[in-house]
Structure 1
Amino acid sequence: MKTKTSGGKNESKLIELTRQHSEALTECVMEIFALYHVSKTLNISLSMDDIFGEAEEQMKELLDITEFSVMLLDNDTSILSVWKASSALYEDIKEITFKVGQGICGLVAETGEPITVGDTGKDKRFVSYGETQQKITSLFSAPLKSRNGKVIGVFNVHKDEPYAFKERDTLIYNAVATHIAQAVENSQLYNKTKNQAITEGLTKLYSKQYFMEVLQHEISDAKRRKSNFSVLMLDVDNFKAINDTYGHPEGDAVLKKIASTLKENTRKGDVLARYGGDEIIVFLRGTDRSKAMYVANKLLDNIRENVNANGGSSKESNGKITISAGVACFPESGDNINDIIKSADKALYAAKDFGRDRACLAPKN
C-alpha cells in the first residue's frame, strides 16, 4: 500500500511538473509570437512618424507594455528628447529632455547597458520627468543601439506598482528595444538617402529637379485654391571674376555662405534650390508682388551685409559680394511652370542690365 501511495504521489508530481512545463512553454511561444508581430508592425513603414502606428496597441495587448517612452539621442548636443510615448503619457512628457548621464535614461545612454529600477522613490539615480512622477514606480530602461553598436536612443517602460518587472519581462523588453532601434535606424537611413537625392551637395539647398516638382505641385494647388505665390531667381554678380580673382575654392565658399544666409532669412515653408551654377531659385508661398519685392530686396541687403569673398563672410575683406534678383508672381507672370520660370529669368537679366545688385519685377502677362 505504501508503494502504491508513493507511486501515486510521484505520478501527481510528474503530472503537475508536466503541466507547469507546458504552461511555461505556451507562455514562451506566445511571447515569441507577440515579439514577431510587434517587430513586423514596427518595420512596416520607413516614415519616422508612422513607425509605431499599430505597434503601440500590440505592445499593450500582447506584451503588457502600457506606459512607455522612446527617447532619441542628438549626438551633436548629447541630449535625449522624447520622440514617441504611450498615448496617456505623451502630452505630459513631450517637452522633457535629459543630458547623457542624467537620470536613469541618461545613464543608459551613457553606458549602453539596460537598467531596472524596482522602486524609483528609493533610487537616487532616478530623475522624474513631467507630471507623471507619481505614476512611475517601477522603471525599465534599455538602450536603442544601431547595427554598429552605437547608442541612438533609449526605450523606457513604466509600471505603477513597485518591483513589477521579472527577469523574463526585461528580456522581452530588451528584444522590443532592439526592434525599435532597427526600425528607427532604417527610417533615419531612408530619410538621409532621400534627402541626399533631393539636395545639392555644395550648398545643401534642394536640387533643381526637386524644386521643379514642388513648383508644379504648387501651381496646381494655387489654381485650385485661387491663391498666389512668387518665385525669385537669384544670381551672384560677377561670379566669374570672383573665381578668377580668389580661386574656385573661394567661389564655392561664397556660394555656401550665400545659401546659408538665404536660408536664415527666409521662412520655414519657403523652398530654396540651386538652379544651376551660381543661380539660386526661391519659392515663396502665399506672397503677392509687393511682398515678393520686399523679400527680394531684404535678401539682397542680407547678402550685401554678410557675404564677402576671401573667407565667405569676412567683413575685413574688400571682396564685397552682391546678388541680383528677378521676381515672378503667380498668376500675373504666368500660369504654368515654363512661363513663370521664363518671367523670373527675364526679370533677372533686366536687373543685371540696370546695374546689378537690385531686384526687378516681371511685368504682368
Structure 2
Amino acid sequence: MLNVKVLLSLLESMNVGVIFTDSDDIVRYCNAAAQVMKKIQPETIIGKKIHCCHPNKTQGKIIDAIEKMKEKKTSSWQRMPTPDEPFLENMIAPVFTPEGEYLGLVMITLDISGQKELTDKLKKSERELTALFKASHTISSSLNLNDVLFKILLLAGEAINFSSGTIYLLDEDREMIVPMATTDCLLGEKTSEAVDYYTPDNVIAFAVRSGEMVTVERGKLGFNQIRERPNTNIILVLPLKDQDESLGVLVVESENRDIFRLEEQELLTTFANHAAVAIRNAQLFTKTKQMAIMDGLTNLYNRQYFDQILNQAVSQTKRKDSYLTVIMIDVNDLKFINDYFGHVMGDNVIKAAASVLLHSVRDSDTVCRYGGDELVVLLPNTSQSETAIIHNRILENVAKWNDEENQYPDVTLSLSVGWATAHGKDGLGDILTRADQNMYEDKRRYKMGIHEESPVERAKKQYYSY
C-alpha cells in the first residue's frame, strides 16, 4: 500500500492542481500547483466549500454540476474550463464506495493558456486565410486596372486595419514609380508625386528595385519621403512582384506602431503577391485592348477606332445641335521617299507627321492613322473659324519641325476639311467622304503650286449651310 507521506509528496511535486473534498464538499487538501493556478492561499480554501475557489459568476454552475454528478453515482470526469485568463481547465470527478456511498470530489486543474493561445492563432490564421482566399478571388475577378487597384486597397484594409494605403506602379518605361490609387480616391497618373526609379536612399524606389519589404517608423530615415497622414507613426512598403518582376509597391500606414507584427507582415506579403498577379493581368488586358485600337508605327488610334468614334461624334452632334469637323491629312510624296530614301525614312516621316498633329490639336480632338499615308483629325463641336485656327497651327508646326530638325526630306502635308452642322443640307454621315474628295483637290493644287484658297475656305464655300 502506498505510503500517505509519499503520496502527498508526489501530489505537491505535480505541475497540475489537485484538490480533494469530503462528502460535504468541504476542501480538505489543495496542492501547491492548484494554489498558484487559482491564485489562492491554503487558509482561504481549506475547510470551505469547493465552489468557493471559483469566481462568483461560475459558482452556480459548479454547484449544479456537482449535484448532478452525485445523482448519477458514477465516478466520471466532467470538464469545466474557465472563460477568463488565466485559462484553466478543471476536471471534476465524484468518488463513491463500491456500495455507492459518496465520499467526496477530486478536482484536477490544468493551465491551458498555451493551448488557448495556439487555438486562437489557428482560428486567426483560418480567418486570415479565408479573407486571403476571398480577396484573391475578388481582385482577380476584374480586368479593369482602376477597379483592381481599388479592390486591393479595400480588401487589404479589411484584413489589416491600417489607417491609409497607396499603390505605386512603375510606368511603361520603368523609370518613374507613380501613385495610382489611395484609400481616399483613385489618383490616376499624377507625375508630381512620382518617384524616380533610380533615386538613391528612397524607400519606395529601394523596395521596387530590391523587391524587399521596408518598415519605416516616425522619426526614422525615409519616413518623410512618403505622403503620410499627420497621425501616421509607422509605414510598411510592400513590393508588388509577379514572377520576380517588380510592378510597384503597396504602401500602408498606421497610427498604431504595433499593428504590423510578424504575422501581419506575412499576411500582407502574401496578399501583395496575389495582388501583383491581378495587377499584371489587368495591365496585359489593357495593353491588349490598346493594341487593338492603336497603330503600331505612330501610336495614333487606328482606322477601326476612328470609325467607332466618328459614329459617336455624329450622334452627339445631332443631339447637341452643334457642328462637326474632319481634317484629312495626306503625307506628300511618301511613295517617292520610300523608293528613293527607303522605307525606314518613309516611316520616320509618317511618325513626324503624327507628332506634329498631336502637338497641334486640342485635348478634345482625336488624331488617327487612317491608312497608309493618310491621317485624320476629328474635331467635335468646332466652328469654321476654330477649324481654321487648328488648320493653320498644323501648317505652322510642320514648317517649325522642318526648320528645327533640319532633316531631308522635309515633311509636307496636304490638308482637306469636311465640315457640317447638325441640320445642314449635307448629312453628317457624309462628312468623311467630303473631306476625302477635297483631299484630291488639295493634292492637285499642291503639285501645281496653287495655294490661293485654303481647304477651310473651300469647305465653307461648298458645304456650309446657313
Instruction: Give the alignment's TM-score, normalised by structure 2.
Output: 0.69
Letter in 2 for 1:340: I
The answer to whether the 8 Å contact 2:368/2:377 transfers is yes
Report what 1:113 is aligned to.
212
Letter in 1 for 2:437: K
The answer to whether the 8 Å contact 2:353/2:411 transfers is no
- Residues 20-169 of structure 1 mapped to structure 2, 5 A cutoff: 20-74=117-171, 76=173, 78-87=175-184, 95-100=192-197, 101-117=200-216, 119-121=217-219, 123-130=220-227, 132=229, 134-147=230-243, 149-169=244-264
Q: Please state if 1:234 is matched with 2:334.
A: no
The answer to whether the 8 Å contact 2:215/2:235 transfers is yes
Q: CA deviation at 1:146?
A: 2.6
Q: Deviations over 1:268-318 (max 9, x none)?
A: 33211111210111111221122112212221232233249xxxx74163x
Q: CA deviation at 1:44?
A: 2.6
Report what 1:335 is aligned to.
427
Instruction: Pick closer, same or farther for the CA change 1:89–1:68 going to 2, 3 Å.
Output: farther
Residue 302 of structure 2: which of 201, 207, 220 is its match? Answer: 207
Report what 1:189 is aligned to.
284
* SS across alignment from 2:382: coil
Instruction: Pick closer, same or farther for the CA change 1:13–1:221 going to 2, 3 Å.
Output: farther
The answer to whether the 8 Å contact 1:293/1:327 transfers is no
Residue 256 of structure 1: which of 348, 351, 356 is its match? Answer: 351
Instruction: Give the alignment's TM-score, normalised by structure 1.
Output: 0.86
RMSD: 2.9
In structure 2, C-alpha distance between the alignment counterparts of 1:154 and 1:16, rounded to whole Å: 39
Q: CA deviation at 1:26?
A: 1.0
User: Which stretches in structure 1 are left out of the alignment for 5+ residues?
Assistant: none
* SS across alignment from 1:51: helix
In structure 2, C-alpha distance between the alignment counterparts of 1:124 and 1:89, rounded to whole Å: 28
Q: Deviations over 1:129-149 (max 9, x none)?
A: 3462x42211211111133x1
- Which stretch shifts more, 267-276 or 95-104? 95-104
Instruction: Pick closer, same or farther for the CA change 1:172–1:300 going to 2, 3 Å.
Output: same
Q: CA deviation at 1:259?
A: 1.0
Report what 2:445 is aligned to.
354
The answer to whether the 8 Å contact 1:79/1:99 transfers is yes
Letter in 1 for 2:164: E
Letter in 2 for 1:108: A
Q: Deviations over 1:97-156 (max 9, x none)?
A: 333434322221232111223x321x2233343462x42211211111133x12121111
Residue 415 of structure 2: which of 325, 333, 346 is its match? Answer: 325
Letter in 1 for 2:427: D
In structure 2, C-alpha distance between the alignment counterparts of 1:314 and 1:333, rounded to whole Å: 44
Q: CA deviation at 1:213?
A: 0.6
Residue 306 of structure 1: which of 398, 401, 408 is its match? Answer: 401
The answer to whether the 8 Å contact 1:82/1:95 transfers is no
Letter in 2 for 1:177: A
* SS across alignment from 1:139: strand
* SS across alignment from 2:446: coil
Q: CA deviation at 1:211?
A: 0.4
Q: Deviations over 1:151-193 (max 9, x none)?
A: 1211111111334321001001111211221222112111111
Instruction: Pick closer, same or farther for the CA change 1:59–1:66 going to 2, 3 Å.
Output: farther
In structure 2, C-alpha distance between the alignment counterparts of 1:305 and 1:79, rounded to whole Å: 31
- Which stretch shifts more, 352-361 or 274-283? 352-361
Q: CA deviation at 1:247?
A: 2.3
In structure 2, C-alpha distance between the alignment counterparts of 1:131 and 1:234, rounded to whole Å: 50
The answer to whether the 8 Å contact 1:239/1:278 transfers is yes
* SS across alignment from 1:200: coil
In structure 2, C-alpha distance between the alignment counterparts of 1:220 and 1:208, rounded to whole Å: 19
Q: Please state if 1:277 is matched with 2:381.
A: no
* SS across alignment from 1:124: coil
Q: CA deviation at 1:25?
A: 1.2
Instruction: Pick closer, same or farther for the CA change 1:127–1:346 going to 2, 3 Å.
Output: same
In structure 1, C-alpha distance between the alignment counterparts of 2:349 and 2:133, rounded to whole Å: 52
* SS across alignment from 1:259: helix
Q: Which structure has the bigger radius of gyration?
A: 2
The answer to whether the 8 Å contact 2:203/2:225 transfers is no
* SS across alignment from 1:249: helix
Q: CA deviation at 1:196?
A: 1.0
The answer to whether the 8 Å contact 2:146/2:186 transfers is no
In structure 1, C-alpha distance between the alignment counterparts of 2:298 and 2:419, rounded to whole Å: 25
Report what 1:344 is aligned to.
435
Q: CA deviation at 1:210?
A: 1.0
In structure 1, C-alpha distance between the alignment counterparts of 2:397 and 2:187, rounded to whole Å: 41
The answer to whether the 8 Å contact 1:219/1:335 transfers is no
Residue 243 of structure 1: which of 324, 331, 338 is its match? Answer: 338
* SS across alignment from 1:28: helix
Q: CA deviation at 1:195?
A: 1.1
Instruction: Pick closer, same or farther for the CA change 1:186–1:120 going to 2, 3 Å.
Output: same
In structure 1, C-alpha distance between the alignment counterparts of 2:405 and 2:192, rounded to whole Å: 38
In structure 1, C-alpha distance between the alignment counterparts of 2:153 and 2:407, rounded to whole Å: 57
The answer to whether the 8 Å contact 1:257/1:307 transfers is no
